Amino acid sequence: MRVVIAEDLFLLRDGLTRMLQAHGLEIVAAVDNGADLLAAVTADKPDVAIVDVRLPPTFTDEGIRAALAARREVPGLPVLVLSQYVEQLYARELLASGSGGIGYLLKDRVFDSAQFVDAVRRVAAGGTAMDPEVIARLLARNTGDGAIAALSPREREVLSLMAEGRSNAAIAQRLVITERAVAKHTASIFLKLDLQPSDDDNRRVLAVLAYLEG
């Protein structure tokens, strides 16, 4: 799998490169700013771009904007955004297009390399990977009204795991239920959120988006 990394801190960039290479991923470019990222994704056509939120020159939300710009340049380009902190606001913006291939994770998640690489692969395959902290803060919210309120507690559990980007198999394993039960729950969620049957991956993203909208 071909990966482009945009991270301005040399140590982290180097560490990410080594770690992903150790897991058999190919790093085609490792850059330190948004403009170079754009050039790299258009030139190298990677399978996934891993982008830090804070990049020069402004060191604010450059990475988010670079990620969105990269997806406009190369439609459908899977992007995994890394950050020292997560904001629901940014999660929404990243998911706003309604298409998959988006990840938004805390940098801490790099510590667990197996899970991190798993998330990278999931995003590259067009899935989503939302940081559990985004989900936790969502759950802390009292979603008193809206479509989400119509979901049963179990369905909400399934939806939050789905939002993290887990597959039906992984959800089944986590909740100790059968995969068929998970499929039943997801179908019910899609129905209650009024998501038309289409490409399943896309519907999963839309469900997460509905979730984020509260």
Q: By CB under 8 A, is residue 17 in contact with other proteins?
A: no
Q: By CB under 8 A, is residue 34 in contact with other proteins?
A: yes
Helix (H/G/I), strand (E/B), else coil: 141: coil
Q: By CB under 8 A, is residue 141 in contact with other proteins?
A: yes
Asked whether 10 and 18 are in contact (CB, 8 A), the reply is no
Nearer to other proteins, 5 or 134 (CB): 134
Distance CA 37, CA 176 (A): 41
- Quick one: which segment of 18-26, 106-114, 158-166, 200-208 binds other proteins (CB under 8 A)? 106-114
Q: By CB under 8 A, is residue 167 in contact with other proteins?
A: no
Q: By CB under 8 A, is residue 89 in contact with other proteins?
A: yes
User: Looking only at residues 184 through 213 of this chain, which bind other proteins when binding is defined by CB under 8 A?
Assistant: none
Distance CA 110, CA 16 (A): 8
Distance CA 60, CA 123 (A): 24
Nearer to other proteins, 87 or 157 (CB): 87
First to last CA, the chain: 35
Q: How far is the CB of 18 from other proteins (least distance, A)?
A: 17
Peptide linkage before 57 cis (omega within 30 of 0): yes
Distance CA 159, CA 167 (A): 11
Q: What sign for the dihedral angle of Cα 200, 206, 208, 211?
A: negative
Q: By CB under 8 A, is residue 75 in contact with other proteins?
A: no
Q: By CB under 8 A, is residue 137 in contact with other proteins?
A: yes
Q: By CB under 8 A, is residue 68 in contact with other proteins?
A: yes
Residues lying near other proteins in the complex (CB under 8 A): 33-35, 38, 57-58, 60-62, 65-66, 68-69, 72, 84-85, 87-90, 92, 106-108, 111-112, 137, 140-142, 144-145, 214
